[in-house]
Every structure is written in structure tokens, then in C-alpha cells.
Amino acid sequence: DQQVKQNSPSLSVQEGRISILNCDYTNSMFDYFLWYKKYPAEGPTFLISISSIKDKNEDGRFTVFLNKSAKHLSLHIVPSQPGDSAVYFCAASPLSYNKLIFGAGTRLAVHP
């Protein structure tokens, strides 16, 4: 039973445009939502997170939006750069236990 779903396995965006990566979850007990970025031959690296008491968190070019009623979050990258090309994982965890439940990832390609 997939509790965290990333329905788009891949996304292609032109440099300078906005990239929007989506994630849906089913468990209303999740308290934290995170995005990790993974380059080939490297481990996932933390990008940005949001707690369930917020609906938006921003860090430079990266913004995460949380819609609790829809059980949906999204990552916006503006403007997209070729160096952003990577696999992006959405993950969620409850407050009590730092167990990350991951989505299967979305491969983002930013082309010139």
C-alpha cells in the first residue's frame, strides 16, 4: 500500500521556466513532508521540508506547498536551471518517529 505517491515518473522543463513536482499522500497522521534530490551515483540530499501546521515554505528558488485537505504537496522550482536535473523524492514522516515514507521519485530534466 503506497502511502506516498509521485504519479509523474518524469518531467521535462525548459531552463528559466517553472518546474512543478507533485506528490500525494494517504495517511493523515503524517506531520512532516520533505523533498530530497538525488543525482546519479550519489545518495539523496535534503532539499526542503514543511510541517503540517504550515501551507507554504520557501527557500530561495524552491517553494513547497501543502494542501492538507487534498493530501497533496508540490515543489516549485523557479527559475529552473540545468543543474536542477535530478530525481526528486517526496517523503513524509509522523511527529513521533523519524521514519521516512518515500514516493518513487520524479526525474526532472531541465534543458537549455
Q: Which residues bind another protein (CB under 8 A)?
A: 2, 4, 9, 31-32, 34, 36, 41-46, 49, 51, 89, 93-105
Whose Cβ is closer to another protein: residue 40's or residue 83's?
Answer: 40
Whose Cβ is closer to another protein: residue 65's or residue 102's?
Answer: 102
Q: How far apart are CA 79 and CA 97, in angstroms?
A: 35
Return the closest-CA partner of residue 101 out of 89, 112, 110: 89
C-alpha distance across the termini of the chain, in Å: 38
Q: Are 103 and 6 in contact (CB under 8 A)?
A: yes
Nearest distance, CB of residue 105 and another protein, angstroms: 7
Nearest distance, CB of residue 44 and another protein, angstroms: 5
Nearest distance, CB of residue 110 and another protein, angstroms: 21
Whose Cβ is closer to another protein: residue 38's or residue 79's?
Answer: 38
